[in-house]
């Protein structure tokens, strides 16, 4: 079986040579363990942070060790009464074709009608919960708010915009990195306005897309997007600070928003959060978003690379914006 190891810590943009595809022998599952064949693995932006040897909310990946991350698999063999062959499980032993581990590492998932199991890595999984908890609990989005989301065509952002629309936002504005993605936001996902952030200064593009200002900003990008949002905020605006992907490959500390002092006069709230603190609302999230999916009110995309030998390519492509919706690797 094959797995991906981190072999050197990237400086700036990761290179394919920072990783190695390694062939290993699988041990048979022992008592209380299960052997799982992975069907899909996730590549996520936060993994870039784990490649650095710094203290963070998740420990760094070890060098010359298999990496970890979200995956969906099927139980092949089980030494535990809790799992049986054929069960579909969600777990953290991604970046490999097979996993052998104690049964408690694997969480059985109940398939949702008409939704593929891969959705548990995206719209019905960690990124979906990030969108839900971040928009509703952290930014406190309410009916009538004008909502702006960056990274809007990605896994988290595409759901943020749709939840905002379905929860009665007065206007939903998104930014993304290509004209195709912008068309996808307005034509397919029902955003009221969208812009390609590569086509001009973000503050100008945002001012045009949100002539009456914004009340909520869901930040996936940081940098000039955050600065533009601070400029566009109405009084008492709230930002959920979710990610800062424009900075993840920076080798030097990046400048803060130059207009940060506006936070005072506008009485703004900028609030960071980590999704793992919000699993208490997972049930509400699956009920509400699962319901919208079943009714066809929420749309989701997946961009799929094939094979563990293309997992690194998928990760790098995601950082470059080659995904629409959730980036996945089919194993
Ligand atoms: P996406 O599916 O959105 O994929 C990443 C996207 O980022 C790319 O498709 C690309 O789209 C965009 N991007 C890359 N570089 C830049 C740049 N320099 N400026 C603007 N956009 C850029 O990933 P996710 O939905 O999984 O994650 C989105 C954000 O949410 C990330 O910042 C991530 O770290 C964060 N996150 C935070 C969590 C938390 O607990 N706080 C949990 C999960 C995610 P484009 O073509 O538009 O540039």
Instruction: Looking at the structure, tell me whether residues 263 and 229 fall in a common domain.
Output: yes
Distance between CA atoms of 32 and 34, rounded to whole angstroms?
7
The tokens describing 102, both together, are 């104690």
Tell which one of 12, 42, 45, 158 to mutate to probe ligand 1, the residue whose CB is within 8 A of the most ligand atoms.
Answer: 45
Instruction: Looking at the structure, tell me whether residues 149 and 79 fall in a common domain.
Output: no
Instruction: Looking at the structure, tell me whether residues 139 and 220 fall in a common domain.
Output: yes
Instruction: Looking at the structure, tell me whether residues 260 and 130 fall in a common domain.
Output: yes
Distance between CA atoms of 26 and 234, rounded to whole angstroms?
57
- Cα of 327 vs centre of ligand 1, distance in Å, is 11
Asked whether residue 294 is domain-assigned, the answer is: no
Q: Whose Cα sits closest to atom 32 in ligand 1? A: 243
Instruction: Looking at the structure, tell me whether residues 38 and 136 fall in a common domain.
Output: no
Atom of ligand 1 nearest to the CA of 247: 18
Mean pLDDT of residues grouped by 10 in the chain (331 residues)?
A: 98 97 96 98 98 93 98 98 97 98 96 89 98 98 98 98 98 98 98 98 98 98 98 98 97 94 98 98 95 96 98 98 98 98
Asked whether residue 226 is domain-assigned, the answer is: yes
Asked whether residue 296 is domain-assigned, the answer is: no
Identify the pLDDT of residue 111.
79
- Cα of 233 vs centre of ligand 1, distance in Å, is 22
The parent domain of residue 271 ranges over 126-276
Identify whether the C-beta of residue 94 lies closer than 8 Å to the C-beta of residue 40. Answer: no
Instruction: Looking at the structure, tell me whether residues 209 and 179 fall in a common domain.
Output: yes
Read off the pTM: 0.98
Identify the pLDDT of residue 117.
94
Identify whether the C-beta of residue 144 lies closer than 8 Å to the C-beta of residue 169. Answer: yes
Asked whether residue 291 is domain-assigned, the answer is: no
Asked whether residue 293 is domain-assigned, the answer is: no
Distance between CA atoms of 38 and 88, rounded to whole angstroms?
9
Distance between CA atoms of 195 and 183, rounded to whole angstroms?
9
Go through the chain and tell me how many residues it has: 331
Look up the CATH number of the domain holding residue 15: 3.90.180.10
Closest by CA position to 2, among listed 21, 16, 18, 17: 21
Instruction: Looking at the structure, tell me whether residues 22 and 50 fall in a common domain.
Output: yes
Pocket of ligand 1 contains residue 321 by CB under 6 Å: yes
Look up the CATH number of the domain holding residue 240: 3.40.50.720
Instruction: Looking at the structure, tell me whether residues 151 and 37 fall in a common domain.
Output: no
Pocket of ligand 1 contains residue 222 by CB under 6 Å: no
Pocket of ligand 1 contains residue 178 by CB under 6 Å: yes
Identify whether the C-beta of residue 311 lies closer than 8 Å to the C-beta of residue 4. Answer: yes
Identify whether the C-beta of residue 123 lies closer than 8 Å to the C-beta of residue 155. Answer: yes
Instruction: Looking at the structure, tell me whether residues 195 and 248 fall in a common domain.
Output: yes
Identify the pLDDT of residue 110.
86
Identify the pLDDT of residue 331.
98
What b/e readout covers 19-31, taking b as 16+ CB neighbours within 10 angstroms? beeeeeeeeebee
Instruction: Looking at the structure, tell me whether residues 13 and 91 fall in a common domain.
Output: yes
Identify whether the C-beta of residue 64 lies closer than 8 Å to the C-beta of residue 7. Answer: yes
Instruction: Looking at the structure, tell me whether residues 175 and 307 fall in a common domain.
Output: no
Closest by CA position to 90, among listed 114, 110, 67, 60: 110
Asked whether residue 287 is domain-assigned, the answer is: no
Query: Is 34 in a helix, a strand, or coil?
Result: strand
What total of structural domains would you count in the chain? 2
């Amino acid at each position: 079986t094959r797995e991906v190891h981190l072999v050197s810590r990237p400086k700036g943009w990761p290179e394919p040579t920072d990783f190695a595809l390694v062939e290993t022998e699988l041990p048979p599952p022992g008592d209380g363990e299960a052997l799982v064949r992975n069907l899909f693995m996730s590549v996520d932006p936060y993994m870039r942070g784990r490649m650095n040897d710094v203290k963070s909310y998740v420990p760094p990946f070890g060098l010359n060790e298999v990496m970890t991350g979200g995956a969906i698999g099927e139980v092949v063999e089980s030494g535990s009464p809790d799992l049986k062959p054929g069960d579909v499980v969600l777990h953290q032993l991604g970046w490999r074709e097979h996993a052998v581990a104690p049964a408690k590492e694997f969480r059985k998932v109940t398939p949702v009608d008409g939704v593929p199991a891969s959705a548990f890595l995206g719209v019905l999984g960690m990124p979906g919960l990030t969108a839900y908890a971040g928009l509703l609990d952290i930014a406190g989005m309410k009916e009538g708010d004008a909502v702006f989301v960056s990274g809007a065509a990605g896994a988290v952002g595409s759901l943020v915009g749709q939840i905002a629309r379905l929860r009665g936002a007065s206007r939903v504005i998104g930014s993304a990195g290509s004209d195709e993605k912008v068309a996808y936001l307005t034509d397919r996902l029902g955003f009221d306005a969208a812009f390609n952030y590569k086509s001009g200064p973000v503050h100008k593009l945002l001012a045009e897309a949100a002539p009456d200002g914004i009340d909520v900003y869901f930040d996936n990008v940081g940098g000039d997007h955050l600065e533009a949002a601070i400029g566009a905020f109405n009084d008492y605006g709230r930002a959920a600070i979710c990610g800062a992907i424009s900075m993840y490959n920076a080798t030097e500390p990046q400048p803060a928003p130059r207009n940060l002092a506006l936070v005072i006069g506008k009485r703004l709230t900028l609030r960071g959060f980590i999704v793992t603190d919000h699993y208490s609302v997972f049930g509400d999230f699956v009920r509400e978003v699962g319901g919208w999916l079943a009714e066809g009110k929420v749309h989701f995309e997946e961009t799929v690379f094939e094979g563990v030998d293309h997992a690194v390519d998928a990760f790098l492509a995601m950082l470059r914006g080659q995904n629409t919706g959730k980036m996945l690797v089919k194993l």
